[in-house]
Structure 1
Amino acid sequence: MSAELITGRIHSVESFGTVDGDGIRFIVFVQGCLMQCLYCHNPDALDIKGGKIVTVPELMKEIVTYKPFLQPNGGGVTASGGEAVLQAKFVTELFKAVHQEQLTTCLDTNGYVGEYNQDIVNLVNESDLVMLDLKQMNDDIHRKLTGISNQYAKKFAKYLHQQNQRTWIRYVIVPGWTDDDESAHLLGQFTKEMDNVERIEMLPFHQMGANKWKTLGKEYKLEGVEPPSAETLKRLQSILASYGHKVIY
């Protein structure tokens, strides 16, 4: 099937992202996600039947207008979400088109991969960088935080390591959920031998998605939870760094 015939559902785009991969990024927020993270800041992107239907050429027509700004310093296009892996064929074709324009590609994912079929292999192969969310290494807490087991994300992390795929790990620091020493040690231990992991990014929890939950008529269960303190971030950074990782926040 040609790229012209492959359609995808997207939530939105952002033209000048600076924290979602190398350089300046054009970010495509893919529609649909099977996780139900309590802190999700794009709950309107969860519905797999929502969003806008687009083709790769339609997206590329807009992307190439930003090429002079994206190309320096390894910039390019990041597929985020929602969850980009759910539309692997579409994102792969998009990434192929991006590479033809001499721009880089980045897959931002929660690693919720079921079957490791050719579509997943192709998607990883077309990704210059994978940013993988490892939300919590304790499976019981992970289930309460996201609605599913962490075994999928852990398996995907191991797959990326086996493929020597350049990877950044993202870890959201949510007070009461992921800000304890034990959770940080578990993450450090799990990723210690993964030499494909260039760094761990700690992302401080924020309340920016709260109003979207209310607008959608959904209960926001983290109401009143404050962002982590500077002291907490420094403590967790020290723990993770002790396992040999570069850790930023």
Structure 2
Amino acid sequence: MENNQTQPALNVHSYESMGTYDGPGLRLVVFLQGCNFKCLYCANPDTIDSHGGKSTEAEEIVRMAVSQKAFFGRRGGITFSGGEPTFQAKALIPLCRRLKEEGIHICLDSNGGLWNDAVEELLSLVDLVLLDVKEFDNSRHRNLTGRGNEQTLRTAAWLEAHAKPFWLRYVLVPGYSDAEGDIRQLGEHFRDYRMLQKVEILPYHTLGVHKYEALGQEYRLKGVRENTTEQLERAERLFREYFDCVQVN
């Protein structure tokens, strides 16, 4: 296409082909660089700095997606994750338009914490949003991420008001996001959302701890152990009191 040269490049951290955890079906997952949150348990701390990654032309990503389209089937497609993909909303808008021209399903994995005209336009283009709600209690959310959750909740309300399907993702961190009262408040808040298609409980894990060591950074949840089966089952029972679409990943 003649106008490809004018399309902004994206800052890409990495890719995952045939991913099965970031949206429906088999997916090409594009991890973008840069994030507005600093989650204590972040498994990809090397994606937080906006200056890392590799500059990648949008059409290169289109070619990758098209080459894998035969494997996507009726449910799969491409997922933009991170980092925080809305950090690069302006560059994603023309890319998503190209992907829609190719008939590729687009999923956006976002913390919902950024908002501007470009983010709003991007959300209107994608097919599905994976909304990461880190904690419902605002003070505990700040403790976990360094930011409040007000915009995340406003983003969820926008998705509902604009009939945009979304999944709610919740990382269950022992001692940080597993309080019964907080989960119940979240359930009460979202229970009547018509566009909420799935609630995913994501177990806390320590697979990214070695990355902190490599970066010379301290992992601040060193004493936190991974979820027991009992903890996950308890959380699942709580969520199922409010939603009939709960899944433990």
Partner of 2:198: 199
Matches within 5 A, 1:8-157: 8-70=10-72, 72-115=73-116, 117=117, 119-157=118-156
- Look up the SS of the partner of 2:52 in the other structure: coil
CA contact (8 A) 2:13 2:47 kept: yes
Instruction: Tell me the TM-score normalized by structure 2.
Output: 0.95
CA contact (8 A) 2:24 2:75 kept: yes
Offset of residue 120 of structure 1 = 2.1
1:15-41 Cα offsets, whole Å, 9 max, x none, are: 110011111000110100011000001
CA contact (8 A) 1:29 1:80 kept: yes
Offset of residue 2 of structure 1 = 4.3
CA contact (8 A) 2:199 2:243 kept: no
CA contact (8 A) 1:76 1:98 kept: no
Offset of residue 3 of structure 1 = 4.6
Q: Which AA in structure 2 matches 1:59?
A: I
Please list every run of 5 or more consecutive structure 2 residues that lacks an aligned counterpart in the other structure: none
**Identical counterparts, % of pairs:** 37
Is 1:183 equivalent to 2:182 in the alignment? yes
CA contact (8 A) 2:18 2:28 kept: yes
1:152-205 Cα offsets, whole Å, 9 max, x none, are: 111111111111110000000001101121121111111112110011100000
CA contact (8 A) 1:30 1:80 kept: yes
Q: Which AA in structure 2 matches 1:237?
A: E
Provide the C-alpha distance between the structure 2 equivalents of 1:241 and 1:138, rounded to a whole number of angstroms.
Answer: 19
Provide the C-alpha distance between the structure 2 equivalents of 1:125 and 1:4, rounded to a whole number of angstroms.
Answer: 24
- Is the deviation greater in 168-177 or in 178-187? 178-187
Offset of residue 245 of structure 1 = 3.7
1:129-155 Cα offsets, whole Å, 9 max, x none, are: 000000001111111110011111111
Q: Which AA in structure 2 matches 1:212?
A: K
CA contact (8 A) 2:43 2:208 kept: yes
Q: Which AA in structure 2 matches 1:157?
A: A
Provide the C-alpha distance between the structure 2 equivalents of 1:106 and 1:51, rounded to a whole number of angstroms.
Answer: 21
CA contact (8 A) 2:40 2:145 kept: yes
Q: Which AA in structure 2 matches 1:11?
A: H
CA contact (8 A) 1:74 1:103 kept: no
- Look up the SS of the partner of 1:90 in the other structure: helix
Deviant stretches of 4+, over 6 Å: none
Is 1:160 equivalent to 2:162 in the alignment? no
Provide the C-alpha distance between the structure 1 equivalents of 2:92 and 2:25, rounded to a whole number of angstroms.
Answer: 20
Instruction: Tell me the TM-score normalized by structure 1.
Output: 0.95
Q: Which AA in structure 2 matches 1:88?
A: A
